[in-house]
Amino acid sequence: MWMSPDEFFAMGGYALYVWSSFGVCALILLIEPLAVRARCKSIVKRLKKEILADQLDKEGSK
Amino acid sequence: MNALLGIIHRDLLLVMRRKSEVLTALFFFVIVTSLFPLGIGADGALLRKIAPGVIWVAALLSTLLGLQRIFSADYADGTLEQMVLSPQSFVLLVAGKIVAHWLVCGLPLVILAPIIGIQFDMDAGSLKVLILALLLGTPVLSLIGSIGAALTLGVRGGSVLMSLIVLPLYIPVLIFGAGAVYANTVGLDISGHFSLLGALLILALAFVPWVSAVAVKIAIE
Amino acid sequence: MSQKNTLSNKRFMNWFRLSSPMTFYPVAGKLIPFFWVLAFLFGVAGLWVSFFVAPIDAVQGQGYRIIFIHVPTSWMSMFIYLVMAGWAGLGLVFNTRLSSMMAQALAPIGAWMAFMSLWTGAFWGKPMWGAWWVWDARLTSELILLFLYLGFIALQASIDNPRRADKAGAVLVLVGVVNVPIIYFSVKWWNTLHQGASISMTKAPAMAQTMLWGMLLMALALWMYSIAVALMRVQAIILERESHADWVRQLGEVKS
C-alpha cells in the first residue's frame, strides 16, 4: 500500500505524531529490560565482593 | 459502644490539650482558599464559578494535614500497640479514632466553608448545597485518609507519601461533591450526586475501619 | 526414592514448590527467553498489520495508526494492575514472599504502560482534536491509574522492612482495585456533566476487522513482553532479598 519508503516515513503528514508515539514507546520497551539487566549485574557484582571479603576474612583469621 | 464513646472522648481530650495541631489545619484551609483569588484575579464571575472546586480541593488538602495526627502520636508512645492488644475490638477503636478526627477536622470545615463561599460570592442556594455535600463528603475523606495514615505509620517522608497515596482515592468524592454544587448552579438535578455521595459514605463506613485496622496491625508488627 | 518416583512426585507437587524463591529463580531464568521470542513474534506480526495491512482511514488518514500502540498499552496498564492486585492479595493471604515479589516486579511495567498510553494519547489527540491533553474520561482515568501505580511503588520504596512493605503494598493495591471502577465511573460522570468543555476520544475510527487484529496482536506482544520483564525483575528482587541465603551464594554466576 505504500508507494515508496518516503511515503511510509511521511505517514500522510502525521509523521511527527506517529513516529513520536511509536518511537518513545520503542525506547521505553528497550530501556526497561536493559535497566533490569543492569540491576541484576550490579547485585551479582556486590555478592561476589561480599564472598571475596568473607573468604579473605576466613584466611586472615586462620 | 462504651469503648467507641470512650476512645472518641479520649482523642477529643488529647486534641483539646494540643489545639494548635488542629487549628493549623483549619488555618491552612482558609489560607489556601484565599490564595486562589490572589493568583487568578478578583473577577467575581470567575471566582463564583471556581468556588466549589477550590473549596473542595482545599478541604481535601486540609483533611490530609489533619490526618497525620490520627495514629502517629499513639504509635510513637506505644499506646497504639496497647489498643491492638486490648480486649476491645480494634476495628471499633479505629472507627472511634476516625470519628474523633472528623469531629475535629471535618466538621469545622463544614462550618467554615460557607464563610469562604461568601468570600467567593456564592449565592445562598449554592452555599446550602455546598454545606450538605461537605457534610456527607468529609467523613468519607476522614475514612479513606485513615487507610493512608495507617499504611505510612513511622515511615520516613510519611506525610507526603500519604498524600500521594490518598489523593487519587479522594477523586470520586471530589467529583461528586464539587459536581453537586456546580450542577445546582446550572440548574441540573443534584439528587444523583447526593445519592452517590451517600453510597460512598455507607461503603466507606462499612469497610474502611476494618481495612485501616488491618493496615495498622501491619505497621505495628 | 527411585528416579521414577521423584519425577512423578515432582509433577504433582510442582506448584507449591514453585512458591519458594529458591526453586522459582532457575525456572524464571528458563522461561524468560521463551517469552521474549513470543513477544518478538507477536510484535512483528502486530506491526506488520498496523503498518502494512490496515487501510488508511477516511477521517484521520494515516494518523490513526497510533491506535495500534495506544489501545494495547491502555489495556495492558489496566490488566497488569489487576494481575498485580492478584499476586499481592495471594501474598497477603497465604503469606508467600514470592507472590509479593511478583507484584513488586509488575508495578514499574504497569506504570510505564500507563505512561505510554498517556503519551500516545496526547500525540493522537493533538492532530485529531487539536489539543495535547483533553480531559476525556478515559485519559483522565488513565492518569489516575498512573498515580495509583506511583503510590504503590513509592510506598514499597519507603518502607525498609520488606515483609511490612509487601503487606502494606498489598493493602494499598487491593484498596486501589476496588476504587478503580469507582474512579472510572466518577470520571465518566464528571466528563458528561462538563461535556461542553471537553471532547470525547471515543470518536475513534470505525473498527475494521484488520484494525482489531492489529490491536490484538500488539496487545499480545505487550503481554509477552510484560511477562518477560516481570520475570527478569523478579529475579533481581529475589537476589536482593535473599542475598543472605546459601543457595544464592552457590549460584553459577556468583561463584565464578
Q: How far apart are CA C198 and CA C187, in angstroms?
A: 12
**B78: how many CB neighbours lie within 10 A of its CB?**
10
In this structure, are residues C167 and B218 in contact, taking their beta carbons and an 8 Å threshold?
Answer: yes
B25 near C CB under 8 A: no
Best mutation target, B57, B165, B200, B207, to test chain C (most C CBs within 10 A): B165
8-state DSSP, B78: T
Closest-CA residue of A relative to C229 is: A33
Contacts of B172 in chain C (CB under 8 A): 179, 182-183, 185-186
| Pick from C63, C123, C239: CB nearest A43 | C239
Residue C221's identity, in one-letter code, is: A
| Pick from C115, C236, C243: CB nearest A36 | C236
Strands (E) in B47-156, as ranges, are none
Say if the Cβ atoms of C56 and A1 lie within 8 Å: yes
- Chains touching A, CB cut-off 8 Å, 3+ pairs: C
Task: Report the pLDDT value the prediction gives residue C57, as an integer from 0 to 100.
Answer: 77
* Domain parsing of chain C, residue ranges: 29-53+64-255
In this structure, are residues C237 and C101 in contact, taking their beta carbons and an 8 Å threshold?
Answer: yes
Structural domain that includes position A47: 5-61
Q: Please tell me the distance in Å from C173's CA to the nearest CA on chain A.
A: 22
Task: Please give the radius of gyration of chain A, using alpha carbons only, rounded to the nearest integer.
Answer: 25
Q: How far apart are CA B41 and CA B47, in angstroms?
A: 8
Q: List the pLDDT tens digit at each of the 221 positions of chain B.
A: 788 999 999 999 998 888 887 888 899 999 999 999 999 988 889 999 999 999 999 999 999 999 988 999 899 989 999 999 988 899 999 999 999 999 999 999 999 999 999 999 999 999 999 999 999 999 999 999 999 999 999 898 888 999 999 999 999 999 999 999 999 998 888 899 999 999 999 999 999 999 999 999 999 98
> Which residue stretches of chain C are H helix?
3-17, 21-48, 67-94, 97-129, 137-158, 162-193, 209-241, 246-249, 252-255
List pLDDT tens digits, range B24-72: 889 999 999 999 999 998 888 999 999 999 999 999 999 999 998 899 9
Contacts of C148 in chain B (CB under 8 A): 168
Assess whether pLDDT exceeds 90 at residue C200: no
Q: How far apart are CA C204 and CA B15, in angstroms?
A: 55
Say if the Cβ atoms of C63 and A20 lie within 8 Å: no
List pLDDT tens digits, range A18-59: 889 999 999 999 999 999 999 999 999 998 898 889 889 999
B105 near C CB under 8 A: no
Q: What's the number of CA atoms in the CB half-sphere (13 Å) around residue C29?
A: 14
Contact B/A (≥3 CB pairs under 8 Å):
no
In this structure, are residues C63 and A11 in contact, taking their beta carbons and an 8 Å threshold?
Answer: yes
**C5: how many CB neighbours lie within 10 A of its CB?**
9
Grid cell listed for C114: 500507563
Say if the Cβ atoms of C65 and A18 lie within 8 Å: yes
B76 near C CB under 8 A: no
B200 near C CB under 8 A: yes
Lowest mean pLDDT among C95-109, C127-141, C195-209: C195-209
Task: Please give the radius of gyration of chain B, using alpha carbons only, rounded to the nearest integer.
Answer: 18
3-state secondary structure of B190: coil
| Pick from A1, A28, A51: CB nearest C254 | A51
ipTM reported for the complex, 2 dp: 0.91
CA–CA–CA angle C53, C112, C203 (5° rounding): 50
List pLDDT tens digits, range C24-79: 999 999 999 999 999 999 999 999 998 888 887 777 778 888 989 999 999 999 99
A53 near C CB under 8 A: no
Assess whether pLDDT exceeds 90 at residue A8: no
Best mutation target, B49, B64, B218, B221, to test chain C (most C CBs within 10 A): B218
The total number of structural domains in chain A stands at 1
A25 near C CB under 8 A: yes
Best mutation target, C153, C160, C161, C172, to test chain B (most B CBs within 10 A): C172
Structural domain that includes position B9: 2-220
Contacts of C120 in chain A (CB under 8 A): 21, 24-25
The total number of structural domains in chain B stands at 1
Best mutation target, C104, C226, C233, C242, to test chain A (most A CBs within 10 A): C233
Contacts of C147 in chain B (CB under 8 A): 164, 167-168
Sign of CA dihedral B153, B158, B161, B162: positive
Banded model confidence at residue C197, pLDDT cuts 50, 70, 90:
very low
* Cβ contacts of C29 within 8 Å, gap of 6 or more: C235
Grid cell listed for B215: 493496615
Q: How far apart are CA B77 and CA C56, in angstroms?
A: 68
Residue C72's identity, in one-letter code, is: P
Q: How far apart are CA B45 and CA B37, in angstroms?
A: 11
8-state DSSP, C57: B
